[in-house]
Chains A and B, each alone.
Chain A
Amino acid sequence: MSANFEDRSRNSYDNDDDDRGRGTGRGGRRMHRRRICRFCIEKVDIIDFKDLRLLQNFVPERGKILPRRISGNCAIHQRMLAEAIKRARNIALLPYSTD
């Protein structure tokens, strides 16, 4: 499993076009971010939709849900998070959109 994981990551570097995603290039911020799911590390099993302090970390300025490719969340937790954010929106704890 772990070997597989390494392989995959190396491949994706090879396929990258020259500058984008390289640590040295302009897009450096993308590359250095390690894929780590915050919720897995903290062993979160339920994401409460009332926990605004937590949810707000994943709702940027515009009010959209931060994609997994940026936050590094695992699929399971991203799904829970998205559900929680949508519930919070419904009950006016979070905005649907802001401009």
Chain B
Amino acid sequence: MAGLRQYEILFIVDPGADDDEVGKITETFKQIITDQGGTITRAETLGRRQLAYEILHKREGTFVDLEMEGSGKEIAELERRMRVNDRILRYLTVRMDEDRRRADKFKDRRARKAAKRPSTPGQPARRGTSDFASSDESYEA
């Protein structure tokens, strides 16, 4: 695939780390991505929150969310570094572009259908039960 891939990376930093350290860790990871040829499109610290279950006997952690764009090779290095770093409790990398493309397709189809419907003659009965027809259609979409 020639197109750039988009990824979202969410990771949890040890609760023992203060804001400075979290910032520093985040910077390091951003650096890794850019060094590998990727670009950061969004970086956000979601803050400290309770974990749904214990990880390494910790009950909370700081969540950091990154979004990047690149070939996909950056992810390998980034994940390796996160695995090695013992300040990172957990990370999750999700590929976003495929889902977004799919969402665009849905939107497209909806737009086409909406454009087509008023101009189709001869189906007043179906239009009458508009409540039903619309729900019926959105099932397909």
Contact = CB atoms under 8 A, between A and B. Distances in A.
Interface of A: 1-2, 5, 36-37, 40-41, 43, 45-46, 49-50, 74, 87, 89-96
B107 interface: yes
A40 to B, nearest CB: 4
Interface in B51-76: 51-53, 55, 61, 63, 65
Contacts of A40: 135, 138-139, 141
Chain B interface size range: 20 to 34
A94 B94 contact: no
B136 interface: yes
A87 B110 contact: no
Interface of B: 10, 12, 46, 51-53, 55, 61, 63, 65, 89-92, 94, 99-100, 102-104, 106-107, 110, 126, 129, 132-133, 135-136, 138-139, 141
Contacts of A90: 90, 92
A42 B5 CA distance: 28
A91 B138 contact: no
B1 to A, nearest CB: 20
B53 A46 contact: no
25 contacts: A2-B136, A5-B136, A36-B135, A37-B138, A40-B135, A40-B138, A40-B141, A41-B138, A43-B138, A45-B103, A45-B107, A49-B94, A50-B46, A74-B138, A74-B139, A87-B94, A90-B90, A91-B10, A91-B90, A92-B12, A92-B51, A94-B52, A95-B53, A96-B52, A96-B53
